[in-house]
């Protein structure tokens, strides 16, 4: 039997901290840095396709978002918070959702709205219910519809010997033609699909190259920054929905490949529908979220007033995220399921 401790021996206090006690070795800053790295291929294509316009918008949005975040947190009496790089990601994503010739002042307005209203008003990172970049983009689209829908020239193979189709995106051209009762404005053949895949088309600066976005998305999967359920179910739903429409009426609907490669679908599926804050946390919930985004995207593209539906679809599903989390919450071990 060991000797008892002396009465005057120092007392050792055990320090108990709250969970979690095991750390995965990652952080918000590391995750945001991975997202920035994943966006670099798309940014490179944007600068190659649109030149200094893409660089200008990206720099303006990132700088404005960082300054706005620091100012808001200073006014709220909190630490600057810009070190987590979330404001940089918001700035890049907002810039990627803007047309290349958008005036600098409008980009600044959208950046301030994304951070001050869509993020900091709700309490900052982790509390915002809607994706800040998409909220800023939709606000600009509603407030400044003409500058937000002004496009540069772009070139794709077209029927009747037409080489250049100007002042419209592919989705915009299709929507306009169908609304006016005209046939589809171009043939979406293998050559056209290849140009769409590489990024030789008009659109917002960060959405034109499906290849660059796919490379970035695979990097996020490799780094385990996102789960596969949301982007896969999102893209698969769009493919199935558009295939049904195409099969029923090929004269007034383009193929699933077109819908997968055109517009902001790849950007939204890989980089905004996977936002950890505004999307479900359960794997079943992520699948439901992806399916809902896919259905809404195609409904808006086909029957909505706007040619593109990705931004609206993700924001609408953001509003349902708490309900999806509640419905897909796993059963607590040791408790019975409710009848």
**Amino acid 185: pLDDT:** 75
Residue 14 has a pLDDT of: 60
pLDDT of residue 171: 84
Residue 255 neighbours by CB distance under 10 Å = 18
CA dist 169 and 149 (Å) reads 9
Segment (H or E) for 134? helix 132-143
Question: Could you give phi then psi for residue 302, rounded to 5 degrees?
Answer: -85, -45
> Which one, of 96, 91, 56, 48, lies nearest residue 310 by Cα?
96
* pLDDT of the residue at 218: 96
Would you say 157 and 120 are in contact if contact means Cβ atoms under 8 Å apart?
no
Q: What SS3 class is residue 168?
A: coil
Nearest alpha-carbon partner for 313 in 241, 257, 258, 210 = 241
CB-count burial class (<10 Å; 0-12, 13-18, 19+) for 271: buried
Residues of the chain with pLDDT under 50: 154-166
pLDDT score for 158: 45
Asked if residue 205 lies in contact with residue 100, where contact means CB atoms within 8 angstroms, the answer is yes
**Closest Cα to residue 212, out of 40, 54, 93, 50?**
40
Instruction: Give the separation between CA 329 and CA 284, rounded to whole angstroms.
Output: 9
Residue 201 falls in which region: left (phi positive, over 0), alpha (psi -120 to 50) or beta:
beta
What does the alpha-carbon distance between residue 49 and residue 177 come to, in Å, rounded to a whole number?
26
- pLDDT on residue 9: 59
Number of neighbours of residue 124 by Cβ within 10 angstroms: 18
* End-to-end Cα, the chain, rounded Å: 57
Residue-wise pLDDT for 82-124, tens only, equals 888 999 999 999 999 999 999 999 999 999 999 999 999 998 8
pLDDT for 121: 92
Query: 272: which DSSP letter?
Result: I
pLDDT of residue 191: 85
Strand partners, 287: none
303: enclosing H helix or E strand: helix 283-303
């Amino acid at each position: 039997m060991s000797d008892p401790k002396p009465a005057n021996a120092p007392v050792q206090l055990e320090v108990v901290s709250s969970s979690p006690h095991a750390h995965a070795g990652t952080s918000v800053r590391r995750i945001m840095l991975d997202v920035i790295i994943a966006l670099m291929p798309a940014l490179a294509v944007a600068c190659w396709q649109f030149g200094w316009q893409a660089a200008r918008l990206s720099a303006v949005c990132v700088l404005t978002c960082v300054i706005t975040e620091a100012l808001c947190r200073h006014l709220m009496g909190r630490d600057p918070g810009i070190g987590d790089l979330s404001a940089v990601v918001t700035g890049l994503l907002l810039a990627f959702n803007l047309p290349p010739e958008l005036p600098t002042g409008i980009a600044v307005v959208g950046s301030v709205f994304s951070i001050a209203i869509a993020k900091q008003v709700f309490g900052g990172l982790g509390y915002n219910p809607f994706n800040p970049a998409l909220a800023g983009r939709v606000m600009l689209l509603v407030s400044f519809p003409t500058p937000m829908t002004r496009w540069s020239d772009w070139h794709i193979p077209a029927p009747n010997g037409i080489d250049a189709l100007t002042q419209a995106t592919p989705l915009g051209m299709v929507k306009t033609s169908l609304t006016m009762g005209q046939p589809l404005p171009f043939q979406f053949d293998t050559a056209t699909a290849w140009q769409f895949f590489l990024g030789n088309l008009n659109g917002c600066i960060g959405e034109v190259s499906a290849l660059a976005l796919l490379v970035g998305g695979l990097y996020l999967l490799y780094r385990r920054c996102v789960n596969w359920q949301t982007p896969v179910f999102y893209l698969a739903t769009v493919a199935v929905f558009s295939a049904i429409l195409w099969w029923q009426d090929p004269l007034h609907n383009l193929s699933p490949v077109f819908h997968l490669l055109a517009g902001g679908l790849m950007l939204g599926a890989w980089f905004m529908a996977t936002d950890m804050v505004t999307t479900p946390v359960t794997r079943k919930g992520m699948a439901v979220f992806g399916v809902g985004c896919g259905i809404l995207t195609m409904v808006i593209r086909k029957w909505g007033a706007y040619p593109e539906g990705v931004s609206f679809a993700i924001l609408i599903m953001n509003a349902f995220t708490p309900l999806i989390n509640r419905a897909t919450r796993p059963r607590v071990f040791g408790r019975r399921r409710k009848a």
